[in-house]
Each structure stands twice: as structure tokens, then as C-alpha cells.
Chain A
Amino acid sequence: AQSVTQLDSQVPVFEEAPVELRCNYSSSVSVYLFWYVQYPNQGLQLLLKYLSGSTLVKGINGFEAEFNKSQTSFHLRKPSVHISDTAEYFCAVSVSRSNTGKLIFGQGTTLQVKP
């Protein structure tokens, strides 16, 4: 079975500072990896995804993530955060390339950007 662990439930950071949100996964088969963001009272929005190819993936809003197969990690990074990045972030895996909506999610990390 697959599982996703987000190592930090909350990450407080000051505006314009860099941030890393950590994600580790467990799977005996190939996985496809995603980061979603959820703003208050809204649905989930896809930030970025890794399906194959380059292990460094760039997404929307200046976010990027690196797939590390040996460490089974897919950490999300941003070099300089903004107040508007305050939200909950979810790491997720799919085991099907053709069914990338059937996802196993981590518990989420709340990013709190302070002025």
C-alpha cells in the first residue's frame, strides 16, 4: 500500500524568507507525485506534478519541488514567500499515470507567512 507523510503540520515563516515543505512517500510501485494548495474555504488547486523526466519540477506561483527516488521524498520549495502564500499544502501520490485524480494525500502542512 502507498502512504504519504508530511513531516510538518505547521510552518511559520516571515515574508520574503525561503520555505521548504517536506513530503515523504512509501510505495512498492512507481508513483506519480503532486502538490496541491488549499486557500481558506476553497477547493484544492494543483501547484505542480511529477510524472517522469526531470526530477526538478516547477509549478505555479514560484513553487518548485524535487523528486528524490532514493530518499522517497518530494519536498516543495519557494525561495521567497509572500503573505498570499498563506494556505494549506497537500502532498499526494497516484499509482496510475492514466488516473491521476485517484490520489492518496498527506495530512497537510499549514504555511503561515508573517509580515
Chain B
Amino acid sequence: GAGVSQSPSNKVTEKGKDVELRCDPISGHTALYWYRQSLGQGLEFLIYFQGNSAPDKSGLPSDRFSAERTGGSVSTLTIQRTQQEDSAVYLCASSLEGESTEAFFGQGTRLTVV
């Protein structure tokens, strides 16, 4: 595709429910990143996938958050037992491998927990 695609663009869920957010990176990009953008915390790194290497999960805020990347392409971010403080815009980015490469961001999924 032309850019990083995220779905859904908006998601409203009830507190305590699980949600899945999807990211389709740019074709051929081996690196994929998830970020969270919230009013109180700004932009925070969550998790990073690079090829077949173990993901860098150092930014995940709790064990309710997890992510998978299947076949080196599509990624799913899962939030279990959602809380109101999970309300934010979740951004996905992808890039080529190597030095000096640019990360391209999707438009994000706006998650509202009610």
C-alpha cells in the first residue's frame, strides 16, 4: 500500500473489555513500532518489531498490553481488560532496516474507554 494503514480509525469500548488494534505497515518495511499518544503523557514508545528478532517490549505499560506481528507484516496490538486511562490515540510506524532510515507513521486509532 501507499502508507501505513491502521484500523479501526476509532474504537469505543466499555471498561473491562478487550480490544485489538491492527497495523498494516508499508510493504517491504521490516521494522514496525507502536506508540501511544495521550493528553497527559504525550507520545510514548510501546513496542518494536524488527525482522525475526525478539521484539523490544520495553515500553509496554502493563501486562494487559501485548502485540504480535504475523509473517513479518501485519501487527496487532491487544489491550486486555481495558481501563479508562487506556484512552488514547495508538500510532503505528514502519521503516526499512538499516541506518538513517525514516519511520513512516499511520493516522492512528483513537481508543475511547467508557
Contact = CB atoms under 8 A, between A and B. Distances in A.
A97 B100 CA distance: 6
B99 A98 contact: yes
B5 to A, nearest CB: 11
B14 interface: no
Interface residues of A, number: 23
Nearest to B59: A102
A105 B42 contact: yes
Interface stretch (A13-21, A36-44, A69-77): A36-44
Range for the number of chain B residues in contact with chain A: 20 to 34
A108 B43 CA distance: 9
Contact of B98 (A36, A98, A104, A108): A98
Nearest to B45: A102
Interface string A62-88: 000000000000000000000000000
A57 B4 CA distance: 26
A99 B50 CA distance: 9
A100 B33 CA distance: 11
7 contacts: A36-B105, A41-B107, A42-B107, A43-B93, A100-B102, A101-B33, A102-B56
Interface of B: 4, 31, 33, 42-45, 48, 50, 56, 91, 93-95, 97-103, 105-108
Given A43-B106, A51-B99, 18 more contacts: A36-B105, A41-B107, A42-B107, A43-B91, A43-B105, A46-B102, A98-B99, A99-B31, A100-B100, A100-B102, A101-B33, A101-B94, A101-B95, A101-B103, A103-B45, A104-B45, A105-B43, A108-B42
